[in-house]
Amino acid sequence: MKVGVIFKAMRGPFLVLTPVCVFLGVSAVVASQISVDLQLLALSFFGALLAHISANTLNEYFDFKSGLDRKTIKTPFSGGSGALPKNPEMANMVLAVGIISLVATILIGVFFVWQYGVGIVSIGVLGLLLIVTYTEWINKHPILCLMAPGIGFGFLMVMGTQFVLVGKFSMLSWIVAVIPFFLINNLLLLNQYPDIQADKDVGRNHFPIAYGATISNVVYGLFVLMTILVILICVFIGKFPILSLIALLPLPIAFYSLSGVIKHGVTTGNCSKYLGANVVVALVTPALLGVSLIIG
């Protein structure tokens, strides 16, 4: 029972983002014809997963304490897990999991600093700040809240993986990180639509609250177009192999999601197929890009 509540509070299905982003970082290393140290990769993956677990469980705890969890309408993609409202006695346990995961992440980061020096400190510090400030502070600043998911999973996770396998940043890792940056920003953006009123009631001020659904739809569409443009340009100039065009295959699904939120707006949660399609785009596009970099 307790294990089930904790796993639910970790938002297990969303943890799949971590291996996708780590895989993309690994693909940038392989594409540069550098051998991958499997022990360092395992430690990097474990650190990234712990960071994701920490972010999710701390978010669950603070959403429960603020009362937000009791206001949201739960969907498979928004509204929180619902674990703590049904099991309030587990709140301190979930908080402990979040803190322990964060401490373990920091210890792994300290090892990599010892291994490579201070070059990776900036990524570690920024990642730490994103985790501890996301729920209580970042969610009150619309532009920062819009960009934070893509920064965390795109730039920090992808580039962090590449760094710990090589010992320095590469231009290719910067470029490939742009793809999950746009798509994971979009993932969280649409998932906020069903919770707009509930979030507003507890003092949040994320992008859809501050600027409305119409402007949010425009931003979503622009992020999709920028993703397409980056892939096409990188293939054209030779940064990506021709095979990387397969990463474009899921992107028309994003326009299906966009059509749904244009039609339904803040009631999109009642039609979760549009949110589900958005998840597919955010996961499959970076995965296909990673495969193309390794094979191509």
The better pLDDT of the pair 85, 169 is held by 169
Identify the pLDDT of residue 233.
Answer: 97
Percentage above 90 pLDDT, the chain? 70
Residue range 101-116: average pLDDT?
A: 95
Residue range 25-29: average pLDDT?
A: 96
Most confident of 64-73, 82-91, 197-206, 273-282: 273-282
> In this predicted model, what pLDDT tens digit does every residue of 181-210 receive, in sequence order?
999 999 999 999 888 888 888 889 999 999
Give the C-alpha separation, 118 to 115, whole Å: 9
- Least confident interval from 77-81, 146-150, 259-263: 77-81
- Least confident interval from 16-20, 65-69, 112-116, 252-256: 65-69
Residue range 77-101: average pLDDT?
A: 85
Give the C-alpha separation, 282 to 215, whole Å: 20
Domain count, the chain: 1
> In this predicted model, what pLDDT tens digit does every residue of 246-286 receive, in sequence order?
999 999 999 999 999 898 877 776 678 899 999 999 999 99
CA atoms within 13 A on the CB side of 121: 5
- What contacts 238, CB < 8 A, 6 or more positions away? none
Domain extent at residue 161 = 2-295
> In this predicted model, what pLDDT tens digit does every residue of 217-251 receive, in sequence order?
999 999 999 999 999 999 999 999 999 999 999 99
Identify the pLDDT of residue 6.
Answer: 87
